[in-house]
Amino acid sequence: MNDARAAHTPAPLPAHTPAPLPADPATAARTADAPETAAPAREPGRGALGPVALVVAGALSVQFGAALAVLLMPRAGALGVVTLRLALAALVLLVVCRPRLRGHSRADWGTVIAFGVAMAGMNLTFYQAIDRIPLGAAVTLEVLGPLALSVVASRRAVSFLWAGLALAGVVLLSGGGLDRLDPVGAGFALAAGTLWAAYIVFSARTGRRFPQADGLALAMVVGALVSLPLGLADAGTALVVPSTLALGLAVALMSSVLPYTLELVALRRLPAPTFAVLMSLEPAVAALAGFLVLHQALSATDALAITLVVAASIGAVRARAGSR
């Protein structure tokens, strides 16, 4: 997304894992499929600054990775950048995780394939969006998919208040019409949000069927294979230019490998609701990355719109946590 990004209904862990991943459907997009680990509540008296800093660093890594991807697009095109990101991330994960290929049922493979296809679709549409509209606006629109999933999963009346607040933010962001943002780019961002929700659902199922990060690694391979023909058609031999490959590797590391690792460590010490609230700040982080790297300045209206969506996401997190 985020860049896609790789966070919403949490990804339930396999039976051998003792504790759940972040409990919010609206904000744990990337870690829903991150390597499963215990996420116990923070021990009394134990400082939270360390894990909070790790989560913030992960968010910064993802969004600044997305900004770097925008800079890479003139060389490889949006589809080519997605292909580089997924293919290189898949290679890294295969080397690190060394997933087992035998012993899985047909249903297991169907789930991981669906997960990989959703992952590829989410990234393809999101990168098309950030090629056309500012990064902060794209992430704000994209987060509506997981936010809607959170509202539905919560089944509490107050959740619809947060949905209304998010809708108000989107209306404000669009200035009364999405054409202000480029309707095609806005449409891609909304499509990415829908696919993000599907990605979360299938990542949860994958987490139940595959141990450790095996499912993530295999799904990343599927996503890379899905995007490969599109990337080759869009960029051709530009994908194998050494400098382009180097930048693509940087995007893959910043958007997948590094944030997954940072969040994995943080989840061992940070309560899941706190993690989810921090992840709700993604649109604001994306706006910051767009401003610093891409010089995409925000108007006061845009900043207010993003603030409304962030507040709605945090509210949905808390409502979801309160319903459990």
How does residue 69 score in pLDDT terms, banded at 50, 70 and 90? Answer: very high
Predicted confidence at residue 262, as pLDDT, reads: 80
Q: How many Å apart are CA 106 and CA 182, to the nearest integer?
A: 42
Residue 59 domain-assigned?
yes
In a domain, 11, yes or no: no
Q: What is the pLDDT of residues 125-172, one digit of tens each?
A: 999 999 999 998 898 888 888 777 767 766 677 777 877 887 788 777
- 76 lies in a domain? yes
Phi, psi of 96 (to 5 degrees): -75, -45
Max mean pLDDT among 48-57, 75-84, 166-175, 303-312 falls in: 75-84
Residue-level pLDDT at 178: 53
Nearest to 251 by CA among 133, 140, 130, 141: 130
- Please list the alpha-helical segments (H only) found in the chain: 49-97, 106-130, 135-142, 144-154, 157-174, 183-209, 214-235, 242-252, 258-267, 272-279, 282-294, 300-322
- The number of folded domains in the chain is 1
Q: What percent of the chain has pLDDT over 90?
A: 32
Q: Regarding predicted confidence, which is higher, 86 or 208?
A: 86
Rounded to the nearest 10 degrees, what angle do helices 49-97 and 214-235 cross at?
Answer: 70
DSSP letter, residue 31? G
- Which domain does 190 fall in, by range? 49-322
- Dist. CA 261–CA 129, nearest whole Å: 27
Distance between CA atoms of residues 196 and 170, nearest Å: 18
Is the residue at 39 inside a domain? no
User: Which residue has better confidence, 77 or 265?
Assistant: 77
